Structures are given as structure tokens and as C-alpha cells.
Structure 1
Amino acid sequence: MKDLYLAIDVGTGSVRAALVDGAGQLLTIASREQEQMVPQYGWSEQSPLAWWQGVVESIRTVLTRYPDARERIAAICACGQMHGTVLLDEDGQLASPTVMLWNDKRSAPQVRAFEQRYATSDYLAHSGNPATPAWPGFKLQWLRDNQPQALAKTAAVLMPKDYINFRLTGELSQDRTEASCSFMMDPSSGQWSQSMLDRLGLNAAMLPPIRDAHEILGELLPAVAQQTGLRAGTPVLVGGGDYPMALLGSGVTRPGLVSDSTGTSCIITAIAPQPLLDAEISNVATCVGDWGPFVLLETGGDGMRWARRAFHDNTLSYADISQCAAEAPAGSQGLFFLPYLAGERLGAHRNARAQFFGLAANHRLAHLHRAVLEGVAFAAARHINIMEQASGQRLERVVASGGGAKSALWLKIKASVYGIPLVVPQEPECSVVGCAALAAAAVGHFASPQQAAEQFVRYGDEVYPDPAWQAIYQRMQPVFNRIYFNSQALYDELDSLGL
């Protein structure tokens, strides 16, 4: 009986394989850590061959734990870190041994040149997204300008999970979720945008076909079956990026729901039938055919990590810091924290800085810690308001995930700042659950991925806004917004100090 699904997740920190049963329960997961190579400041690379080795080893570990799974796996679905440009030559070999990752910022000069030449209003409808160094289109520009020999040999540009799919099946493709965030896909047609390729000066010949994440891409090759221990001929899905897959696996599948994924960063994502074309909003195609407009704070959980390091030299746990923050009242007695420790990804002020504002002699360490948690929530709420205004859709419920969802205090602060109830999935491996839901629908076990997700995703207790806290935060939010906007005039002057 084919009642299991094999999920593969090509992450930045590790490559993982997991078995999920027909009820959406995670049976086992195995991982192999991956290191980022940083040849110089702003660069970040990994080896696709190391990914593949990690996939093979993780699958073999999973099958060792469940020896009968080989015959029970109905389908395989992979997801992975997004925006990494894998270059393959005509023989299917790597044209470059390393890959520029999502957090590689070496293409910033290409982005600046593009923004100087084109206004956002000129291209947004053709790209679906504002410009940023994360997008593969700018990575390919950098390769064209700096490593032309590698790009000259390139016959296909794949994303990380697409490379794994190629090794599994021999088939070349990019899925819609990845292509939508490439800066090269037309959001209206869902195909490669010749208009954007012309602006970028890139050749469409190296871009593989765009397919939907829920399609069956091919079958597992016999040689790979022998290498991994899997059954030859097992269906392999096209799959998607880890981030949109996690939306599905957390149950964020319809308008009115919003995802708050707080790890190092904080990503706020809504669901809409069409992309929201706004200079402060990015858009990712979902695994099920609609869109996920999103806004991103570079500093989410990293704010708490900074405070732990700066105030305690990493001697306290995150639970200790939350406990300390809980000793301060809501609003931190008028203390604000602007959480721009790593600047911003979009807009004219990528060089934004963090700051405490309103610091007074009566503030103690607890106030500072609580202000950090509240500051991230205020910054995220500002983004939520931007999306609500752009869509005309009032958000009903927030699904919180990532490391930030482990703090009960932070969840209550966010619910009270947002004015929206929060829930947390019981299974934190949302991308793995999303892979399983997609696979279950693809082989006919459910009518749709959404239906599978409804059965697979379970939540803990709902976290409601605290009325007293909410009243305080409603008065503070406009002040936070004004501090944010008024500070922008100083960022360039601060940079000019050269300190």
C-alpha cells in the first residue's frame, strides 16, 4: 500500500529527508548539515554536489529507520532554499562548482544600476516584484559581467531543489513559485518575461520550462534508486521553494489568513488572487495557483539574538530573555526599538539603522528586552497595514511559525499589536508537511493540496489580543511610524561619517 510521502528539503543550514504518513504525521526526519562558503564580504555560496550527497545520505538514513518505506512511498516532493542559481552545461554537468545563495549580495551594483535606469512603475507589472540582490535575474547579470566563461557554458539555470529533481529524474524545470521570484517571470502569463529579460540583458535560452509545483515531473531513475535505496519509478513532483511550501504546510491557503514566519528575519505573507504591485511589497506564486504578497524585515528573531549577545554575552537563554522582558509593562514605559539592525531589503533606505528611542533614567534591562520584542511587532504591523491597504482585504488570523513562535510572550505581544488572533501549527516542520500535502494530492489521495493541508495541519490554542495591551499599542504605533520615517534623513549622513 502506497501510504507514505517522502519530503526532501534543501535548506541553507542542512539538507533533510522526511517520511510523512497519510494522516500528515511526521514519522522521521534525517539531516546533513551544510556550510556556507564566504570567499569575501557579502558573498555566500554552497556546493550543489554537497547538497546531492546530503540528500542521498538523508534518504538512506530514513529508509534504515523504516525499512518497509521503500515500497510504501507514493511520491517524492522536494522543496528548497530559494534564489540560488545552479548552472548546468549541455551534458548536465555543473558549469560552476558553487552557487550564489539567496543571501549573497554581490549583485548590489547591478541592482543600483537597474534602479537608476528604470523607475519601479516602469517594470513592476512585468516582474511582479521590486528589485533586490536576492533575485536570480541580478545574480545572472553579475555572472555575465564577472564570470562570463561560466555563463557561456550554461545550458540551463536551475534553483536548488530543481537541481535535486534533475538528479532524481533527469528532467529540467523550474516551478512557478521559484520563477515568480526570479525577476524574470511575467506575473500575468506565468511565463518568462521577454520584457524583463531585455531590461536585464539576459538570454531566455538558458531558462527551463516553468511548471506548476503540484505536477508530476518524472519518475525516479534506476541508478538513483540503487544509490538511495528507493524504488525505481517512484513519482517525483515538480515541487516548490521552501517558503511557499511552508505556507501550504502551515495552512495559509486562502485570503484573510496571513503567515508570520519569524526566524532570523520576519516574513509577513498574505494570500491574494493576484500579486499586489507596490514598491514595498514582494510577491511569490504559491504552490496551489494563487499569490503570496509578502513583506520582509531583515531583523526578526535576530533582534532577540542581538540583545542576548550585546547585553549578556550569550550567557542567558532565549527563554530567560523572554522571562526578563515579561517583567516590564506593555509599552515598555514609552521606550521604542526600531529593529533595523541589518538594514532593509527593499526601498530607498536599505542602509536603515536600529535605535532605541525614548530611553529614560527609569528604564531597566527588562524594558529594553520588551522594547525589542515590541519593536519587531510594530515594524511587522506597519507592513501588514501596507498589505491591507493595497489589497483592500482585512486580515482575519495570523499563523505564526519559526523560532519566534516559541515565545508565548512574543505571540501575545504580536496579537495585541496586530489586533488579530494568532495560532501556531503543532508540527513546526511546515515545509515538510507542505511537501506531503502536495504529494498526497498529486497521487489522488486528496482532491486538492488545500484539502490535504486542511487534514494535515493542526494548531495549538489560539492567542488573542490582550485588550489593555492593544489599547496601549494602538497609541504607540503611529509614533513608531513617525520615528521610522523621520530617521530616514539621517542614514546617509551616518554612512558619510565612515565610522
Structure 2
Amino acid sequence: MTQDLILAIDVGTGSARAALVDAAGGAIRQISASEYDQIVPAFGWAEQRPADWWAGTVQAVRAVLDREPDAVRRILAVAACGQMHGTVLVDGHGRPTRETAPLWNDKRTAALVAAFERDNAPASYLAESGNPPTPAWPGFKLAWLRDNDPKAYEAAATVLMPKDYINLRLTGEIAMDEGDASCSFLMNPQTGQWSAAMIDRLGLDAAKLPPIRSPLDILGAVTAAAAAETGLAEGTPVLVGGADYPVAVLGSGVMRPGLASDVMGTSSIITLIAERPLLDPEMCNVRTVEGHWGPFTLLETGGDAMRWARRAFHEKALGYGEIVAKAAEAPAGADALFFLPFLVGERLGAHRNARAQFFGIGARHGLAHLHRAILEGVAFAVTRHIRIIEAATGQKLERVVASGGGAKTALWLKIKASAYNVPILVPQETECGLVGCAAMAATAVGRFSRVEDAVTRFVAYADEVLPDPAWADTYARMQPVFDRIYRHSQALYDDLDGLAAASHTEKVS
């Protein structure tokens, strides 16, 4: 029997997905998903049960195996990616020491992060951590668990990320890939190993951190117990695998310096592939699968700006397509109308309490201008991030690869291409994480000499969106004005917080 398939697994926040992918060309043959819920025990908290991830994975794997003839014997290897930062404590037997794990979007560590920022200057930790502090990082989640669930913390032999827990259940082996580790706030980006300085600064137990390995390494093989549960063949190789974000970036074809990824979902994440991390308080860094770095910024309000406009202007009576069509009626630049898209503040920097605003409204402006300004405002905000990354790395963008829901909106793609002034490519296969897993596995078992070669074979593009020269000229003149509006508005954010607090106090009294 020819072994011609890769089993790719994606342990997401909403579901576990499994896919059978052709090992030679990267085409997805079968795909299945099994959903599970988030648990919200308090405002700002978000948890899930590792047991639910495993049950979902088993169900999804069995579903794809059932649909493909002789699939079990045809699988070359298994590769998983998974949601980042979900902090799983397991004992020496691999059993979770608490039923749930705090997720990437869990904010319970906010007070710990604020205290850390108060007591530590960025210059004192960026070179050791590779990143500014945020509530998402597992380093802070571990500190919270130590202080608030000491029994579970003390009983833990090691800490894992979600895909690592699935790998443990599959193989009995423990490791964390470089991508997940690089966004833990605990890995030194120069050495690629755990930072003794950061571990000491957060007061954590270094013995609980697992080995850091390449995502392309073979971690182990499917055990007899895992084979009985999943239906896989005992002995099937399993990779270390990777964090879902860098694996999806790889699976979109973004893998060399000069290329960038724009994940256009609820937020907008721009990632530039670079030779080294960018140590800046307003930038994050992730280790990429092929061995580069991905300095990235996250605009909290990307696609969510359209969702807000649909609710605020139309009480959800119009569809998104109708809103985009209305925006298309206005000229590029919306007749000098600006929108700053900080509806929920910012993730990083000194002004996380930033506000959204329209600037420049005149009697000539109508609804079409407002909608167009929203689309362009997101593009200007992302362009601002791009220019910061370019200046710090000395690298200019050559191309951007778009993915996510926003990549399906033609007008927005053209606006962004013109604002960035570079072409935007749209992948033919939108399941970039699963494609990335397959490329990793095919390389690990020797089908390709380099993961870049596998990606070149597996990834094709459905469309290339070129900048409109006239639009690009308009946006180039508007961008500096947008930047100045942003800078000058910062002086008012604390005042707005004070007004909002006073208004809340009046309502309560």
C-alpha cells in the first residue's frame, strides 16, 4: 500500500479539525471538525477542558479516516498545530492537574501584567523575553496559577500548550515547539532556550518547562492506547508540530524576508518575515517554522469595524455586501474623511485605552463616505504598523498574503493593496494551518529536503490584487495626516477615561 497521505490536526478555540492531505501536492482530501465550547467562569476569563480537545480530536480523526479508503495504512505522519497560549498543567503521568486551562483570550492576568510594567522598564526584559508583556502570555498565566491554584501548580510536572497536550495523548512524549515557546514571555530569542532571567523575574519553577524542539522534529509515534482511541495505526510518526499562527503563516506561503501575512479576521494581524526579532514595546515576535522571525502587530479592530458599522448605522438590517457596495460609491480617500479604528483600544503600547473617531466630517459627507472611511481607516492603521516594522528591520515589503474573512472582500483588498502600495495575494486554499501542517510532515518524513520546497509545491494563489495608482497616490498623501491625528489624540484618551468613569459613578449613584 502506497503511503500518500498526511494527517493534519488543528486544535482551535472553537473546534478540533482533522484533515487528510495529499503528501505530494498538498490538496486536502478529507476534512472534519468537532466543536466544543469556551467556559467563562468570570468576566474576562476564558477556559477550556483539555479533555474536550482530545475528545474533539478523536472524533474528527475518526471521521476523516472513515471517509477515505485504506486511510490508516496510507498515512505517512501526523502533524498538529493549535491555538497558542492555552496553559495546560500535567502531572508526571500526563494527567491534567486541573480540569480547565486558561486560554489565549483570558484576561485574568491583567493585574500581574500591569504590576510587571510598573516595576520593569522595557530595556530590562525585551532582549530576554523577545516580547512586551501582555495578559496572553503563558508566563503570566503560570504566575497566576501559582498564586491562585497552588495545589494544581505544585502537582504539575510540566506545562504544555494545547497541541502539545494532543501530542502527549498520541505519543506519551512531551515537548514544546519554538513558535509557542517564543510567545511565552519565557524564551530567550537569541539562544532559543528558556530564559533563566525571565523565569526568575516571574518567580516560576524552571523544572516545569518542557524541552524546546523544532516543529519539524519527529516527537514520537502513535501508542497502542492512542491507536485504539483514534483508529490510527500504532507506530505512525508524530511531529512536534507548531503553534497555529506561525503554521498558518507558513501554509499561506509567507516564508522568506520581504513577505508579509495579513490575517484579516475580527482583528488584523500583520506579520513581516525577518532575520531577527524586532525588540520594541509596540511589537510582538514569533519564531517561524522555517527558522526566521515574524515581528507582528495586532490591530484589535479589523473586520470588527465592519461589524460595528453594520450595528451602529443599520441596526444589522443590511448585510456586509450591501455595506461594502455603499462604501464603493464614495471616492478613494472619502473626500478627506478619516476614521481611526480603535473601537476596543490597542493591544500594545502606552495607549491601550485608544479610542475610535471620525475626523474631518463636513456637510458634503454622507453614509457612503463614512463606510469607505472605515475600510480605509483600518488600512491606514495597518500601514502605520507596516512602516514601523519596515523602519526597524530595514526591510521593505514586497508582497502581502491575505487570509481570513476580510480576504474575501474585493474592495477592501484593493484599498489595502493601494494603502500598502504592494500587491496582495489570496491563497487558493484557505485552510492555511492544515496546509502548513502537511508541508511540515511531508518534509519531516523526507518527501522534501526543505519545508520551503514543500510549501512551494503545496501553496497556490487564487488572485493577485494590485495597487490602484491613483488610489495609492491619494493614500500616500493621507497617511501622514492619519498618523498625526493618532499622535495628537493620545493626549485626550486619559481624559476620556475620566469622563467615562464619572458617568458610570453617576449612573450607579
The answer for the alignment partner of 2:15 in structure 1 is 14
How far did residue 288 of structure 1 move?
Answer: 1.5
Q: How does 1:321-360 map to 2 (within 5 A)?
A: 321-360=323-362
Whether the 8 Å contact between 2:129 and 2:187 is mirrored in structure 1 is: yes
CA distance in 2, matches of 1:339, 1:195: 37
Task: Note the 1:100-249 alignment, pairs <5 A.
Answer: 100-249=102-251
SS of alignment partner, residue 10 of structure 2: strand
Once residues 206 and 443 of structure 1 are traced to their aligned partners in structure 2, the CA distance between those partners, rounded to angstroms, is 30
Aligned to 1:364: 366
The DSSP-based 3-state class of the residue aligned with 1:424 is strand
Using the TM superposition, give the Cα deviation of residue 389 of structure 1 relative to its aligned residue in structure 2, in angstroms. Answer: 0.4
Cα RMSD, aligned residues only: 1.0
Taking the aligned partners of 2:341 and 2:241, their CA distance within structure 1 comes to 34
Q: Deviations over 1:216-252 (max 9, x none)?
A: 0000011111211111111000000110001110110
The residue identity in structure 2 corresponding to 1:78 is A
Q: 2:427, 2:463 within 8 Å by CA — same for their partners in 1?
A: no
Query: In the TM superposition, what is the alpha-carbon distance from 1:38 to its structure 2 partner?
Result: 1.4
Instruction: Give the counterpart letter for 1:100 in structure 2.
Output: P
Aligned counterpart in structure 1 of residue 40 of structure 2, from 38, 47, 67? 38
Deviation of 1:395 (Å): 0.9
> How far has the Cα of 1:317 moved from its partner?
2.2
3-state secondary structure, aligned to 1:460 = strand
Letter in 1 for 2:435: V
Q: Which residue of 1 aligns with 2:460?
A: 458
Q: Deviations for 1:81-121, whole angstroms, at most 9, x for unmatched residues?
A: 00110011122111111111111111111111111111001
Q: Which region of structure 1 is more displaced relative to structure 2, 358-367 or 189-198?
A: 358-367
Structure 1 stretch displaced more, 219-228 or 306-315: 306-315
Offset at residue 315 of structure 1 (A): 2.7
Shift of 1:201: 0.9
Query: Residues 19-46 of structure 1: CA distance to partner in whole angstroms, max 9, x if unpaired?
Result: 1102110112100122111111111111
**Whole-angstrom distance in 2 between the partners of 1:412 and 1:256:** 20
Q: Deviation of residue 362 (structure 1)?
A: 2.1
| Structure 1 residue aligned with 2:506 | none
User: 1:417 pairs with 410, 416, 419, which one?
Assistant: 419
Asked if 1:67 corresponds to 2:64, the answer is no
Residue aligning to 1:428: 430
TM-score by length of 2: 0.97
Q: Which residue of 2 aligns with 1:446?
A: 448
Partner of 2:167: helix, strand, or coil?
A: helix
Gaps (5+ residues) in structure 2?
504-509
Q: Which amino acid aligns with 1:146?
A: N
**Residue 313 of structure 1: CA displacement?**
2.2
SS at match of 2:184: coil
How many Å separate the matches in 2 of 1:34 and 1:362? Answer: 49
CA distance in 2, matches of 1:360, 1:37: 46
Instruction: Look up the equivalent residue of 2:422 and give its one-letter code.
Output: I
Find the aligned partners of 2:463 and 2:430 in 1 and give their Cα distance. Answer: 15
The residue identity in structure 2 corresponding to 1:101 is L
- Measure the CA separation in 2 of the matches of 1:366 and 1:7: 44
Task: State how 1:473-492 maps to structure 2 within 5 Å.
Answer: 473-492=475-494
Which of residues 78, 82, 86 is equivalent to 1:76?
A: 78
How far does residue 74 in structure 1 lie from its aligned partner after superposition?
0.5
**Structure 2 Cα separation of the partners of residues 73 and 319 of structure 1:** 41
CA distance in 2, matches of 1:458, 1:320: 30
* CA deviations over 1:191-226 (Å, ceiling 9, x no partner): 100011111111101001000000000000111112
> How far does the alpha carbon of each residue in 1:265-292 deviate from its partner, in whole angstroms, 9 at most, with x for none?
1110011111111111111001111111
CA–CA distance in 2 between the matches of 1:152 and 1:47?
A: 19
Q: 1:334, CA displacement in angstroms?
A: 1.4
1:438-481 deviation line (CA, Å, top 9, x unaligned): 00000000111110000100012321110111111111101111
Dislocated runs of 4+, deviation >4 Å: none
1:352 is paired with a residue whose SS is coil
Partner in structure 2 of residue 375 of structure 1:
377
The residue type paired with residue 444 of structure 2 is A
Distance 2:397 2:418 in 1: 14
Worse overlay, 485-494 or 254-263: 485-494
Structure 2 counterpart of 1:23: 25
Task: Supply the distance in 1 between the matched residues of 2:173 and 2:431 (Cα, whole angstroms).
Answer: 27
Aligned AA (2:415): I
Distance 2:298 2:45 in 1: 20
Specify the code of the residue in structure 1 equivalent to 2:20: L
Gaps of 5+ in 1: none
Write the mapping of 1:277-356 to structure 2, written as runs, cut at 5 A.
Answer: 277-356=279-358
What amino acid does structure 1 have at the position aligned with 2:136? A
Q: Residues of 1 paired with 2:321 and 2:437: CA distance?
A: 31
Spell out, residue by residue over 1:159-216, the C-alpha distance to the aligned partner (whole angstroms, 9 max, x if none): 0000000000000111100000000001011110001111111110100100000000
User: Could you report, residue by residue, the CA deviation over 1:335-390 in whole angstroms, capped at 9, with x for unpaired residues?
Assistant: 11111111111111111111111122222221111111101100000000001000
1:437 and 1:383 map into 2 onto residues whose CA distance is 30
- 1:116-150: CA deviation from partner (whole Å, max 9, x where unpaired): 11100111111111111111101111112222222
